């Protein structure tokens, strides 16, 4: 590894009937990005040509990769993962064909990431329904990648320059959240977050805030016992181990008062508790980072956007930031002078 090594960033197109191809092509049409990374797109070259023509993105040129790992260092590279040229491209319409194509691209990109042919992976949005199959029985990218890379645990970590929020529970029904919370699970997520803040963001002594589950963080047991029985004991144990972990905080006041700005990371108990404030504060430049993996994976903080797909309305800011964050985390992990 040399200091001048430019990160090779794999980028999947996601569901080709969603906004994935649009935001990828828009982000890469700014040639300045080539000063920082070598992009490697995984998907269909026919899909790329279709959207280039649809959005009149004439300035974007690319090279088809013929041999694994051999890229044009100063240009955009495309690995054609689709052997079929008969599928229909229909922006805004969910289809099993687009789901299958998204999975094939994800699987190949993940394999080549594991083999070391790319340095990090950025995933454009998939449709969880159309990609679902016997080969992909997962609820999303995070669960698939955690198993594929044999990680003991991972953390859905939403990051921006204003806020970093991790989730204890991710894609589960609200009615199941309380029953799924355990001391072991919260402790594991805190451990992943603390390690990631040190290793991936260069923070020597991370300061972490933990949110309560119930309104008013349980109000001393009047509104629920999870804080007293599960969350507070974990926080106390973390403090005894010398970690800077605080809470549990009532989520509403914590974000409304801007208290989050005093912490390096915030651990939320469930999906909407963390993502509603995150997207309100950082939408447009927020990034979904999967912490805890032996590899680097980021994605934009939005979905397939079927409602605006093909209409030239998608904002590429989050996808572009996901590319930059992947490159920055790669450099952070490979900085020899940093203590991880």
Q: SS3 for 209?
A: strand
Packed helices 317-333 and 20-28: angle between N→C axes, nearest 10 degrees: 70
Fold of 1-151+293-340: Isopropylmalate Dehydrogenase (3.40.718)
Determine the pLDDT at residue 2. Answer: 42
Sorted by sequence, the CB contacts under 8 Å of residue 185 that are 6+ apart come out as: 168, 169
Q: Where are the domains of the chain?
A: 1-151+293-340, 153-291
Q: What is the pLDDT of residues 224-248, one digit of tens each?
A: 999 999 999 999 999 999 999 999 9
The pTM (predicted TM-score) of the whole model is 0.93
Question: Cα–Cα distance between 279 and 237 in angstroms, integer?
Answer: 31
Determine the pLDDT at residue 84. Answer: 67
Determine the pLDDT at residue 5. Answer: 79
Determine the pLDDT at residue 340. Answer: 45
Pairing of strands 164-167, 155-159: antiparallel
Sorted by sequence, the CB contacts under 8 Å of residue 4 that are 6+ apart come out as: none
Sorted by sequence, the CB contacts under 8 Å of residue 6 that are 6+ apart come out as: 36, 37, 38, 73
Determine the pLDDT at residue 247. Answer: 97
Q: What is the pLDDT of residues 256-281, one digit of tens each?
A: 999 999 999 999 999 999 999 999 99
Whether the domain at 1-151+293-340 and the domain at 153-291 fall into the same CATH topology: yes
Determine the pLDDT at residue 43. Answer: 96
| Domain 153-291 CATH superfamily | Isopropylmalate Dehydrogenase (3.40.718.10)
Determine the pLDDT at residue 86. Answer: 75
Packed helices 96-114 and 141-148: angle between N→C axes, nearest 10 degrees: 40
Closest to 332 measured CA to CA, from 190, 198, 148:
198
Determine the pLDDT at residue 87. Answer: 87
Residues in the chain with pLDDT values less than 70: 1-4, 84-85, 337-340
């Amino acid at each position: 590894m040399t200091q001048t090594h430019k990160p090779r960033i794999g980028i999947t197109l996601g569901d080709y009937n969603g906004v994935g191809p649009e935001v990828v092509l828009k982000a890469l049409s700014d040639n300045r990005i080539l000063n920082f990374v070598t992009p490697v797109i995984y998907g269909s070259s026919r899909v790329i040509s279709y959207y280039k023509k649809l959005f009149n993105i004439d300035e974007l040129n690319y090279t088809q990769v013929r041999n694994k790992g051999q890229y044009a260092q100063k240009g955009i590279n495309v690995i054609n993962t689709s052997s079929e040229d008969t599928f229909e491209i229909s922006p805004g319409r969910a289809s099993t064909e687009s789901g299958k194509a998204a999975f094939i691209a994800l699987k190949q990109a993940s394999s080549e990431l594991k083999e070391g042919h790319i340095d990090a992976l950025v995933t454009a949005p998939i449709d969880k329904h159309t990609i679902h199959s016997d080969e992909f029985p997962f609820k999303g990218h995070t669960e698939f990648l955690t198993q594929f890379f044999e990680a003991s645990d991972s953390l859905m970590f939403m990051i921006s320059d204003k806020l970093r929020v991790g989730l204890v529970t991710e894609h589960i029904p609200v009615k199941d959240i309380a029953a799924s919370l355990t001391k072991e699970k919260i402790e594991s997520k805190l451990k992943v977050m603390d390690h990631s803040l040190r290793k991936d963001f260069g923070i020597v002594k991370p300061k972490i805030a933990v949110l309560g589950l119930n309104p008013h963080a349980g109000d001393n047991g009047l509104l629920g016992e999870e804080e007293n029985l599960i969350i507070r004991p974990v926080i106390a144990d973390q403090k005894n181990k010398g970690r800077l972990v605080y809470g549990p905080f009532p989520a509403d006041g914590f974000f409304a008062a801007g208290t989050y700005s005093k912490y390096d990371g915030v651990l939320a108990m469930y999906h909407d508790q963390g993502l509603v404030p995150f997207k309100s504060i950082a939408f447009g430049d927020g990034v979904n980072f999967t912490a805890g993996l032996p590899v680097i994976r980021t994605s934009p903080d939005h979905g397939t956007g079927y409602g605006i797909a093909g209409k030239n309305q998608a904002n590429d800011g989050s996808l572009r930031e996901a590319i930059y964050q992947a490159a920055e985390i790669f450099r952070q992990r490979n900085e020899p002078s940093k203590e991880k």
